[in-house]
Structure 1
């Protein structure tokens, strides 16, 4: 697998000689290896901020003294190298489809495919699940929590400000059930384990249990999150010496690498923000990972 372009952030202040020039012209001159054409694409993606505000007009005149921040990364790499409505439509047509598992007036539970960003990022405000869902359902939509680009599975959005407040509070209180399936590198020698290891100075706790040891040297594991830090399972898996297979950031290439990151949000449970009743949703492993696992099983059990 080819590694995605790492996120890079370039910050600079417009000089007197930049006064009155087009934004894409200034970007191409000040950001290393960024052509004028790529600068226009980056602006169109929403990866450029001027004095703290996202700017999407490449021809906007720059004023001396303005602070310009450009976010380069995977979004630019994945985008059609054109701008405008037709280019955005082509980009969206290439996105993997998502499935609405449940919706009512308060929430929408979605089965997110790998390869689809959950919400806008500094790199881009287009081609993300929140934007697509907002247009599909209409009305307000609030991002309660996120899944990584390469992670598939269940995610909930709020459709009212009150539902967002309640669900966000339950996330902070760790009162939401979030269970993942992950295939770890190597043969794990424990059956259950609680991993209590801070991430970025904040408490992070994961509860892991082995479901199946696969050949050669892979272990299907269930993770239940007690906290929800960024990349928590991936970091905790690396911490115990068994990174998630297919993880290009925290793991290493393997001859049995899956078609993508082998991490799937399989169960999501919480108290409904309006009714007060507990609800829970399940999602089996998607076909790409299930087929890969079957091929591993065909080799026989791991020792």
Structure 2
């Protein structure tokens, strides 16, 4: 179904995503932003970004996509649930588990497990990613927050966008970092030479990572990273960019690296404001066995 709206004088200079949420009261701002990102919204027959400021007389057209029946099947897969209430849950995802189904991973994902555990999950991200507010890579372990309803999802998404969610990771990298702390501010986008990888590109999305050295070894460094932004493969790309790729990373690491079944990266800390109560919540997941074994192996090398 395609709808049309002409911007009035009182609506002039309003961001398109805010205007769309106003004229579609049954939809959250996160949902209309998804429509905009999927090019379902045009202004004067031109695709625009979510921050476009409307002008008086602009003709806004949008297509409401058909709601597809949920095609992802629930699977009885054990979950390490750190916290749960009627609005959300926090899960400690194991290394090797994909977050949501895709062409190459139809089953065995976190979403499959969540559908078995929960009767309700938010629908903002569609049938393949119900409840998923943010992701971590398949071979990254650690904490994720999952929304059970659209209100909670919209609040958490807004906190992510405004950089109000605390996310700290621990990683082991090749090389010895000689300074105790640092910040990497470099835009990330698709690598023009390899579309399967991300890279530092001039027209990429803003990406900022802070890091702190926890322990130095002869040829490796154990670090903590704190994200300001959440770009695809951000820590992996940024650490490679400054010359300290993650141990075990098959995509961004050196050819000769430890056989760890993927990058040694753990989402250890997650903090946010509860969407309903306003309470400040903060969770911490201990380093998993695989991570501790890598540290132990490196320690015994010398």
Query: Which TM-score band (shorter chain)?
Result: 0.5 to 0.7
Q: Spell out the pairing of 1:142-221 with structure 2 (5 A cutoff).
A: 142-200=131-189, 201-215=204-218, 217-221=219-223
Q: Deviations over 1:56-115 (max 9, x none)?
A: x9xxxxxxxxxxxxxxxxxxxxxxxxxxxxxx99xx78x7x4300100000110000011
2: CA distance, partners of 1:204 / 1:124: 28
SS in 2 for 1:134: helix
Residue 233 (structure 1) aligned with residue 235 (structure 2)? yes
Which stretches in structure 2 are left out of the alignment for 5+ residues?
Answer: 1-65, 123-130, 190-203
CA contact (8 A) 1:246 1:253 kept: no
Residue 98 (structure 1) aligned with residue 79 (structure 2)? yes
SS in 2 for 1:163: helix
Structure 2 partner of 1:41: none
1: CA distance, partners of 2:254 / 2:265: 15
Q: State the 1:259 CA deviation.
A: 4.4
Q: State the 1:220 CA deviation.
A: 0.4
Distance 1:189 1:54, change over 3 A: farther
2: CA distance, partners of 1:157 / 1:164: 8
Instruction: Flag as ranges the 4+ runs of structure 1 deviating above 4 A.
Output: 52-55
2: CA distance, partners of 1:214 / 1:254: 17
Q: TM-score, normalised by structure 1?
A: 0.65
Q: State the 1:54 CA deviation.
A: 9.4
2: CA distance, partners of 1:280 / 1:108: 12
Residue 140 (structure 1) aligned with residue 142 (structure 2)? no
1: CA distance, partners of 2:260 / 2:97: 18
Give the structure with the higher percent helix.
Answer: 1
CA contact (8 A) 1:181 1:266 kept: yes
SS in 2 for 1:294: helix
Structure 2 partner of 1:128: 109
Q: TM-score, normalised by structure 2?
A: 0.66
Which of 251, 256, 259 is 1:254 aligned to?
Answer: 256
CA contact (8 A) 2:236 2:252 kept: yes
Q: How many residues end up aligned between the 2 structures?
A: 214
Which stretches in structure 1 are left out of the alignment for 5+ residues?
Answer: 1-51, 58-87
2: CA distance, partners of 1:98 / 1:138: 15
Q: Deviations over 1:201-227 (max 9, x none)?
A: 110000011100124x11001000001
CA contact (8 A) 1:118 1:148 kept: yes
1: CA distance, partners of 2:67 / 2:164: 34
